[in-house]
Structure 1
Amino acid sequence: MMERLRNLLYRWRSLDELDKLGERELADLGLSRYELEELVTMSPEVPERMARMAAVFGLTVEDIRALRNEYLELLENCGHCDAVGQCRHMLDAGTAQPGNVGFCPNAAFYRAKAARPEG
């Protein structure tokens, strides 16, 4: 419970700081206000779950972070996924395989990236 409260306070403070950023500062970051808000308010579980699913395809966190724009899109897809329960269950049970995770909104990207790891 305390951890959830700490996370909530952290997000609240981060959103407050985000509101104070000017357009130039956002441009320097290379992110839109919306993208920053998505990152700040995202559950801490999302990047971990996303990395675990990428590993099903033989990819590392470094592999998927290498392309920054795609990484942000992958995070957003994972964060708004309707199959979180199914995903979590398969990952925890160790039954997730490239051929049985069609519910994952990032599966096609992972599959393509695994087939062409150079980029």
Structure 2
Amino acid sequence: MTMDVSKTETTKPAPGQAPQECAGCCKPITERYLLKALDMFWHEDCLKCGCCDCRLGEVGSTLYTKANLILCKRDYLRLFGNTGYCAACSKVIPAFEMVMRARSNVYHLECFACQQCNHR
């Protein structure tokens, strides 16, 4: 699954309110900038690829998640990047595209439909 990473300037919390907590280290984010990914907030140093340890905010605006891993595009494709073919249309399914699986078959989301009525 791909997710967007957005970098925003930290806003001062309202009086009595704690600053945002980092999803990686669980410490308050007091730096000028923070990252938002996976509906959570991160220090720039804490949002890293689970394989190569690169800082995801520096390598692009997209991260990939699979099997409880947070990955950069390069490592995602290296680990899970076998390109397949759709069982319905026989066209290539890129490794980073979301798919539907039924038994041993893999489908584009738009190709996954009932064989009786063609309803998705």
Q: Same fold (TM over 0.5)?
A: no
Structure with more relative contact order (C-alpha pairs < 8 Å, separation 6 or more): 1
Q: Which has the higher helix share?
A: 1
Q: If you compute each CA radius of gyration, which structure gives the higher value, 1 or 2? A: 2
